[in-house]
Amino acid sequence: MSTVAVVGLGAMGRAFSSRLLSTGHDVVVWNRSPGPVQAAVGEGAVAAPTAAVAASRAELTITMVADPAALTAVTEGSDGVLAGAAPGSALLQMATVGPAPVLALAERMPAGVDLVDCPVLGSISEATGGTLSVFVGGDPERATDVLSSLGRIVPVGPIGAGSAAKLVANSTLFGVLGILGEALALGEALGLSQEATWEVLGASPLAAQAERRRGPLEAGEAPLRFGLALAGKDAALVAEAATAAGVTLPLAEAARGWFVEAIAAGRGDDDYSTILAHILGRASG
């Protein structure tokens, strides 16, 4: 078992800490705000005063932060991860930030410190249960024990490929939610009962997603698994990466438009699946 530092204790970082502790790893934690740190310490983690100190105490350091700016903030400077990482250790970059920031990070790595580009597909329940899909860019050998504790390792290529794979996966997720919401709105506009529309969707290629999303939509509430504002950030990363690669993705851009609208309407703190309620309300309004 390894000593692992978890830098960034949002919902997923906290789930990582809990899972690693439950599978026998020693965990050191750091976060900008103290609340999540106290909760992790209550489960057996050890708090560090800075990200640099957390990294200095660990064989492997996980960064799980909100966006590229946050990744820069926790890795650079005298208090950052790179200042504390010792030769022979490794940095596991697991946040969804896109390939460019990860490639830039690779250029700043200290001598003797490995970088593994390994964002994940899944949410809190998958992280807690160790059933995430872990898209690995680079050599996973150094981190296999820890990554296997979190889920299934999916090697996809060199550094940067893991973050690229996460954007590909997310592009499908956002697109499916957009299409599902529009299909529900179309059924309503054409006079179908919502029950009938759900039955039709159950016989369509969207059947699995329709079954998963129906209950929370009908109940009018969804447990917070993935914030809509974070989903909007990820949709923007997809658009930025596509532009940089010279690829035109009109369907992805249309789906992103729904997220931009919903965030502007004040739904950013809700679960991302509430995009369905937003589409229904907007289309019928």
What pLDDT was estimated at residue 80? 98
Quick check: 212 pLDDT over 90? yes
Which CATH number does the domain 3-158 belong to among 3.60.21.70, 3.40.50.720, 3.10.580.10, 3.40.50.2300?
Answer: 3.40.50.720
Give the pLDDT of residue 159.
Answer: 98
pLDDT, position 233: 96
Q: Is the per-residue pLDDT at 283 higher than 80?
A: no
Q: Residue 112 burial by CB count (10 A; 0-12/13-18/19+): exposed, middle or buried? A: exposed
Q: Where are the domains of the chain?
A: 3-158, 165-284
Contact partners, residue 141, CB within 8 Å, separation at least 6: none
Whether the CB-CB separation of 124 and 225 falls below 8 Å is answered with yes
Q: What is the pLDDT of residues 236-271, one digit of tens each?
A: 999 999 999 999 999 999 999 999 999 999 999 999
Which contacts (CB < 8 Å, 24+ apart) does range 18-24 have?
18/43, 18/128, 19/127, 19/128, 19/129, 19/130, 19/149, 19/150, 20/146, 20/149, 20/150, 21/45, 23/130, 23/149
Q: What is the mean pLDDT of the chain?
A: 96
pLDDT at 52 exceeding the cut of 70:
yes
Instruction: Assign domain 165-284 to its CATH architecture.
Output: Orthogonal Bundle (1.10)
Residue 1 pLDDT more than 90? no
Task: List own/partner pairs for 32-36 with CB under 8 A and 24 or more apart.
Answer: 36/9, 36/10
Residue 279: its pLDDT value, please? 96
- pLDDT of 53 above 80: yes
Query: Is a pLDDT exceeding 80 seen at residue 41?
Result: yes
- The pTM (predicted TM-score) of the whole model is 0.93
